[in-house]
Structure 1
């Protein structure tokens, strides 16, 4: 059985998918620690979420911030959602126009930081009957080849590969790479500056799929929110 209440850490949770997931977990009885770079928006999110939410502003690429999170979670937690991510540049540009600085920034944020956070927090993940869980947010760009998406897509390929390698190396934890699909978020808007993305679903629409994954805990692997939603239904 899960501890009462179970506890989660969600990165990149001041808006978009991270904030929606935090709201869904709080409604499901969880305590959540949310983190993001924008302290004002993060605090507003925590206030909206209520007393079960705690905001800890910072950048996941900063080792000091990761140490702060480890201290805050020292008494244990059950779920890590690595949602913080970056496109690197907007508007997006072809691979041959990417600077080394942009590539390093994308990989530092989307690959190095999640793995570093896992390394820092793994000893704190509770091993109860439900099982500790790590969810790394990926994208269909990791499976397809879209012009100008090279840096972001390659980083998500790497993150997926590392997720499944971690599953082989540390099978006591549930490891998931989850593709939420195209959503109406600021990052998606940044990928299409000046375009209307109003036809994309809101992040809240995929929260039930994530909750189903967390509750049922299927074998570690790569999952699409659309598939999980069908199972949940």
Structure 2
């Protein structure tokens, strides 16, 4: 069975992707900060009959990242690493003039530094896999200038650039930065609580990710909604 690590897997896109992959026979290591929500997610994923290891913790902690990779090694290796855990930097989002620098540092630490740290930890196992794949969950805010999304967007732009460089440096891997589009998630609700229409359900976006895994196109940046639409 292929083995994947998914961060931020207790809810939203991470949980939806975990359930879909388990339905396709993947064994999974799941991460999130909230232990209770992660247990619930892992129980739902395990109903598909695959092996699921749930490790609550903070991806900014090096020891936690090492534990995630060690758990995957016990399952057989790392074929897929999905960096989905994210921090906004401020809740709700604010203009750059009011953005707390501590919040910006947190967004960069979670969205960029921890993601790279986990890749570094898993890289030997990814290289050993016949289908080693890294998915960095990006954002349209990484490429477009939206008011109040500056700090979060900057962190996602940095993550997507790391993914692009990793693809050049590790040609034996597939490295995809994937923009999931607007989604109705707790993260989006925290970012812009006044918005009534938050976007697609995470489960409706997941087929785009599954298409990438099935077709294995070249490393690069992809938009999940376009993939779902067959483009």
| Structure 1 counterpart of 2:28 | 32
Secondary structure of the corresponding residue to residue 230 of structure 2: helix
| Structure 2 counterpart of 1:46 | 42
| Structure 1 counterpart of 2:145 | 145
- 2:93 and 2:183 map into 1 onto residues whose CA distance is 18
Is the 1:189–1:197 contact (alpha carbons within 8 Å) kept by the matching residues of 2? no
Q: Kindly indicate whether residue 188 of structure 2 is the aligned counterpart of residue 188 of structure 1.
A: yes
| Structure 2 counterpart of 1:179 | 179
Matches for 1:1-233 after TM superposition, within 5 Å: 5-50=1-46, 51-52=49-50, 53-74=52-73, 75-125=76-126, 127-129=128-130, 131-197=131-197, 200-231=199-230
Is the 1:80–1:134 contact (alpha carbons within 8 Å) kept by the matching residues of 2? yes
How many residues are paired up? 226
- 2:117 and 2:157 map into 1 onto residues whose CA distance is 17
Is the 1:111–1:158 contact (alpha carbons within 8 Å) kept by the matching residues of 2? yes
- 2:118 and 2:221 map into 1 onto residues whose CA distance is 20
Deviation at 1:159, TM superposition (A): 0.7
Deviation at 1:173, TM superposition (A): 0.6
Is the 1:177–1:223 contact (alpha carbons within 8 Å) kept by the matching residues of 2? yes
Deviation at 1:125, TM superposition (A): 1.7
Secondary structure of the corresponding residue to residue 54 of structure 2: strand
Over the residues paired in the alignment, what is the CA RMSD in angstroms?
A: 1.4
Cα distance change of structure 1 residues 126 and 168 upon mapping to structure 2, 3 Å threshold: closer
- 1:151 and 1:128 map into 2 onto residues whose CA distance is 35
- 2:10 and 2:149 map into 1 onto residues whose CA distance is 24
The TM-score with structure 1 as length reference comes to: 0.93
Structure 1 residue runs of 4 or more that deviate by more than 3 Å after TM superposition: 126-129
Secondary structure of the corresponding residue to residue 90 of structure 1: coil
Is the 2:28–2:72 contact (alpha carbons within 8 Å) kept by the matching residues of 1? no
- 2:63 and 2:129 map into 1 onto residues whose CA distance is 29
